[in-house]
Structure 1
Amino acid sequence: MSSVQITVPKEYGYVLLTATSTFLLSLWHAVRVSPYRKAAGIPFPAALALPSDISAASPEKKKAMYLFNCAQRAHYNFIENYNTALPALLIGGLKYPVAASLVGVGWVVCRTAYAVGYTRRDKEGGKGRSVGAPFWLFQVGLYWMAGSLGYSLLMG
């Protein structure tokens, strides 16, 4: 069995700063849901406004409940994707520190646009989130970089 030595390049600092921005984005998502919860009148520990609650609400409260559900769903979608995007950034950044950092920043910007778009009052059905949908391209780029490192270690 042979061994491989990994040298962390100085530019990996960019990767770590980008990773830190994802921590702040995660916190922002969590804090962002609170005003929507309050406006909708949804008590803890309820994760979403139920259809039965929405149908029994006034038109104004229905909209508030809908927006709360959208904010929650944007947060959930972030969490669903974060658990693979962050490790891919950290792994891929060992081989491609500057590229991984730039792609990671693109991911952060798109994830922010996704959340803001999802809660637009003028976009029904969460259609506003499409403005942030390019996060998928950035996320796949991070996956590719991580896989490329693994491949190069095995072939090197």
Structure 2
Amino acid sequence: MAMIEIKSDYGYVLLAVVSTFVVGAWHGGRVGAFRKAAKIPYPFEYASYEQIQTASPASSKAMLAFNSAQRAHQNFNENHPSALGAMLIAGLKYPVATAVLGAVWAVNRVVYAVGYTNGSEGGKGRYYGGLWMLAHYVMVGMAGKAAWDFARA
């Protein structure tokens, strides 16, 4: 049976993990603000194509911004579990590198969301935050390597 020693630097990994919770809460608040501005009532998840097409230009712009904020939040939620798992596993073996990558992931999720809701670029601004994806896949690879090393120990 392998013994896993938690290095003292693992606290940095936990800080990076907690930062993702803050980003998730920020996303939720942001979507709420965009929802209110677009006047999209609950339980509707998005403004429909028809609503956007028939709205005034100002309302249409607000609805598109809401849809973009909602999509950015959902994309965050789709990727958050695997990022957390990768951080927690990879951090056991590579705590400092994982903490840095986790911080890069969290910061770039904010950049992604802000860029996505930048109406002047039609959502293409999300690419400015694309570094989250590289950080994500590197952490997944590091988690796989750490798990392999633990399994072979």
TM-score (structure 2 length as normaliser): 0.97
Pairing of 1:1-156 with structure 2 (within 5 A):
3-124=1-122, 126-156=123-153
The amino acid that maps onto 2:18 is T
Matched residue SS, 1:34: helix
Residues 52-88 of structure 1: CA distance to partner in whole angstroms, max 9, x if unpaired? 1111111110000000000000000000110100110
Residues 72-121 of structure 1: CA distance to partner in whole angstroms, max 9, x if unpaired? 00000000110100110011000000010001011111111000000113
Separation in 2, partners of 1:141, 1:6: 22
The amino acid that maps onto 2:63 is M
Q: Give the structure with the higher percent helix.
A: 2
Separation in 2, partners of 1:21, 1:47: 26
Matched residue SS, 1:122: helix
Higher relative CO (Cα under 8 Å, sequence separation at least 6) belongs to: 2
Separation in 1, partners of 2:53, 2:118: 21
| Structure 2: stretches of 5+ with no match in the other structure | none
TM-score (structure 1 length as normaliser): 0.96
The amino acid that maps onto 2:137 is V
The amino acid that maps onto 1:31 is G
Separation in 1, partners of 2:34, 2:150: 47
Matched residue SS, 1:83: helix
Separation in 2, partners of 1:103, 1:42: 36
Give the aligned CA root-mean-square deviation in angstroms.
0.8
Number of aligned residue pairs: give it: 153
Separation in 1, partners of 2:51, 2:118: 21
Q: Structure 1 runs of 4+ off > 6 angstroms?
A: none
